[in-house]
A and B are shown apart, each in its own frame.
Chain A
């Protein structure tokens, strides 16, 4: 593999990883606070992509590519983020909140149910065919030396980077962020300290879902929009969250990038057939769970006896 080819795969891996990272954040934040996997997260991503697609197409009309399509795209992204945030909060309210403190399997089963409802409702409402999400800009690749970079890749990298920085600042610097961190450490104590835990949980779902919507739209530009688009992407993002150490925000970002790179280079270097590409993620998952179940940056949690 030449240097140029290496950089090409690196670039492809990074963009893929950036999207995984955005989605992984939602899993990790919810897990950090509620200690359960939001199985429906991938389907929120799908819902976000649909909303983004419809709003974008509506706003754009027949306009040719230009400044307006870019504005329309970002507007669509914002609206989709808002929609997904509300969707995420609603799901939490309806399907998870009544199960807080119940048997540990209960919220998990409920989440699987929600996931099924969402993806199949979408298939019913919007059909099982996939829809193209047009690029809001001219996606003619740019050549830097022998490396080919598309504007879409640049968009993915910059948007995911910006989102992650904002999130990191939010969690580290704001009062709400502090409340989130406190709640994830000890819900009971946080409540005693006057933190409105219900609001923190709602907020967590809102942010995670909004980020998923962004991830959904970014991935849809390359892979189209369809009802089950969230399943595999969601699972892989979850793997990314576990690799980074679930509950750990920086870990999720790192895990996402790492998984993106592993997938790209796995196919390129080790000649893993493309048909088995999806298997890489699960291989990584099982491996990491066996060797270092707390993930690369996670803390070991030991039950007190």
Chain B
């Protein structure tokens, strides 16, 4: 089943076309890799799909519903969570608070009562609600083996842990689809191995994963399918095996002469 799909998605800044008529699709339950040389438009594609940037033209569908141009918080609430290339944690907040923010929109909403009554309820039953959020956040920290550092400030965590915390925070929103923007950047080989295991674990929870990554070992190892971008356009799409042998991909990465 196709979980997310874009149709001729384009983002131009003045004359520069960062993403050019890209048809991107994400199969439910798989790990999809998005690769391409620097400046190929990978992050811009992420941003236009997650509402941080508005596409110039084209469409985005998620779960058979068009979400083109939706604001970021709405898209998150529909079930798409993400991390950032240059880690964007809430630095001065503690580890557990970071994850608790991920639970923000999960409480205080109810189908039966109106908005106002709900607000009143969550205000009156503050302790109860906070407890629920806290427990859920701890569960996610446990998933990443980080419970011990729950009261540390996020900025004091080692780099690798910060990346993991960002993923934990994203997962706390109970997403169907998780976007990871260069999750292994700056990690040493051991950390990367650990990350690969974690990403598989996430997939096994039933979360569909899309990742941008430059570490080819990681990409080829864990991705079920790969899409290659170059100069804002989709260059190729296929299994890791197919991508490895695709001549135009090799050319894009290595240049014509060496190919």
A residues with CB within 8 A of B? 304-305
Contact = CB atoms under 8 A, between A and B. Distances in A.
7 closest cross-chain pairs (CB), A and B = A305-B52, A305-B47, A305-B84, A305-B43, A305-B53, A305-B85, A304-B86
B195 to A, nearest CB: 21
Contacts of B86: 304
A188 to B, nearest CB: 15
Contacts of A305: 43, 47, 52-53, 84-85
7 contacts: A304-B86, A305-B43, A305-B47, A305-B52, A305-B53, A305-B84, A305-B85
A103 B43 CA distance: 28
B80 to A, nearest CB: 15
A305 B43 CA distance: 8
B82 to A, nearest CB: 10
A305 B181 CA distance: 10
Contacts of B84: 305
Interface in B45-69: 47, 52-53
Contacts of B43: 305
Contacts of B53: 305
A27 to B, nearest CB: 28
Nearest to B92: A103
A305 B85 CA distance: 7
Contacts of A304: 86
B232 to A, nearest CB: 17
A202 B228 CA distance: 49
A305 B18 CA distance: 14
A305 B88 CA distance: 9
Interface string B68-89: 0000000000000000111000
A305 B84 CA distance: 7
Nearest to A303: B52
Nearest to B53: A305
Interface in B187-221: none
Nearest to B86: A304
A304 B84 CA distance: 10
Nearest to B82: A305
A299 to B, nearest CB: 11
A298 to B, nearest CB: 15
